[in-house]
Structure 1
Amino acid sequence: MSLVVGLRIALLGTGRVASQLGPALAAAGHQVVFVWGRTAMAAQALASQLPGAQALPTLAAPLPPADVYLLAVPDAAVLPLLAGTAWPTGALVAHLAGALPLSVFAAQPSVRGGVFYPLQTFSPGRAIEWPAVPLCIEAADAEAERTLLALAHSLSQQVRRLASGPRLKLHVAAVFANNFTNHLLGIADALLAEAELPAELLAPLVRETVNKALANSPFDVQTGPAVRHDAPTLAAHHTALAAHPAWQALYAQLTTSIQAQL
């Protein structure tokens, strides 16, 4: 992993991604020059963790100079933030969203647009191993791309250029792999709780499922009553879920999807 020291970074956002990214940038030798957030208290709390960073109360002009302005905000906030901020002419502004195209910068011709997408889930209290986090880069011009690639390589060993179309498909895949899987694990936990069984019972099964899926094509190693077309078991499960019609319907949909893939 190459180390690029000395980039001045402006961090707009104070949420889950920003709170982990800010310290990682500082640890990699960059200077976070300012932090802005929707509340002054949140901006001050994050800035206090970053040597030399100031909490910016507003985004009124003139903004402090920076080599890169990173928009670590929810997807829906990116366009209003772009339109409502007086960016320095020629500023390199990059969003961190997986589903937003590079073209969101088209309405701001005075800035150089870019994408700095970390493919990871971020939660409070969970440490992120940044060298293993895939960072996907896209930029409107070659100079912006070089800067964002250098910044990415200073954090991660998994850096790649990725255009908006493939990045959107990657983001959809990530939702299936992470968010939907986590939701299903939540349902499993709830069902165990109803039966007064400990959640730890599923831990070995979950670990083996993930390890097997990572070592093989997941469709090729699918198991369970849906694959076997085990009608009595499927019917028993349907009955067991009678108190949860939404989960019952989801079970049926997933069973149909599994069987359609065979």
Structure 2
Amino acid sequence: MRIGLFGTGRVATALGPALVAAGHALIFVAGRTPASALALAALAPGCVALSLPLAQALPPADLYLLAVPDAAVPNLLAAVAWPSGALVAHLAGALPVAVFAAQPQVRGGVLYPLQTFSPGRAINWPAVPLFVEAPDAAAEVQLLALAHSLSQHVARLDSAQRLRLHLGAVFASNFTNHVLGIAHQLLGEAGLSFDLLAPLVRETVDKALGAQLGPFAVQTGPAARHDTPTLAAHAAALVAHPAWQTLYTQLTQSIQAAEAATVARPLSPA
């Protein structure tokens, strides 16, 4: 496919070379910073760099991908003179496909990669789940074909399901990373290496992912044990970090509420 890519951030920087490696032609890269657009365009033979807002007509392409922040998508859609019938897809998890309704001249769709992207981290694209949505049947076929060229895990997903998936991903990835950051700082303040937690974190994640009844069923720790003295000692140790102290209390209450709900839930008949 001939693809035009809008965006030069983390997702675009990872996706652009992957598209080329999969055999697609990256026609242009458009970004607000000329230097970043040039750097990404240089990775694809014959690709040109464009600056936003566009000062020239949009180069023809089979697909235009919007790898830009969610909040920027509506303005970008309104600002570009799209060719009639152009296939345009965003890559956002929480943005509904209905965002394209204000631009009836385009065929809108979604190509959502369920992954975290960071500078310097290589992405194993065949293992990245890709989710496609498009009201137009022909657009869906094209997006599914593109997704299958990149990943071994491709599925259709509507906007409501994708929003719930994105919400779950924020809890599983972003919030987990933040809590690990708190642990990193707490250990650092005590002169301890963060590496000490690595075996525990790996076992926790492996156990949660493999739990037949879900992660709540394998919850451990002082909150699950209702270990009041330990909970009090931890809260006292967080006196220098009142926001984290509040978070600790809230998470403790959430764990205990989840445990109570699990215990109260009647067993399903065999």
Unmatched 5+ residue regions in structure 1? 1-6
Corresponding residue number in structure 1 for 2:241: 244
CA contact (8 A) 1:60 1:85 kept: no
**Structure 2 counterpart of 1:36, which letter?**
A
Specify the SS of the correspondent of 2:46. coil
- The C-alpha deviation readout for 1:52-102, integer Å capped at 9, x for no partner, is 111013424521110110000000100100011111111000000000000
CA distance in 2, matches of 1:38, 1:86: 17
Where in structure 2 are the equivalents of 1:214-225 lying within 5 Å?
214-216=209-211, 217-225=214-222
CA distance in 1, matches of 2:132, 2:230: 47
The match for 1:32 among 26, 34, 41 is 26
CA distance in 2, matches of 1:242, 1:128: 40
CA distance in 2, matches of 1:108, 1:17: 24
Corresponding residue number in structure 1 for 2:127: 132
Where in structure 2 are the equivalents of 1:1-262 lying within 5 Å?
7-58=1-52, 59-216=54-211, 217-262=214-259
Specify the SS of the correspondent of 1:197. coil
- The C-alpha deviation readout for 1:131-189, integer Å capped at 9, x for no partner, is 01010100120000000000000000000000000000000000000000000000000
RMSD: 0.7
- The C-alpha deviation readout for 1:22-67, integer Å capped at 9, x for no partner, is 0000000000000000111110010001111110134245211101
CA distance in 1, matches of 2:56, 2:121: 36
CA distance in 1, matches of 2:216, 2:194: 26
Distance 1:60 1:87, change over 3 A: farther
Percent identity over the alignment?
A: 72
Corresponding residue number in structure 2 for 1:4: none
**Structure 1 counterpart of 2:22, which letter?**
A
Specify the SS of the correspondent of 1:123. coil
User: How many aligned residue pairs are there?
Assistant: 256
- 1:15 Cα deviation (Å)? 0.3
CA contact (8 A) 1:61 1:87 kept: no
Q: Give the TM-score, by structure 1 length.
A: 0.97
**Structure 2 counterpart of 1:8, which letter?**
R
Specify the SS of the correspondent of 1:51. coil
CA distance in 1, matches of 2:166, 2:135: 20
CA distance in 1, matches of 2:74, 2:205: 37
- 1:249 Cα deviation (Å)? 0.1
CA contact (8 A) 1:14 1:36 kept: yes
Unmatched 5+ residue regions in structure 2? 260-270
Q: Give the TM-score, by structure 2 length.
A: 0.94
Of the two structures, which has the highest relative contact order with CA contacts closer than 8 Å and spacing of 6 or more? 1
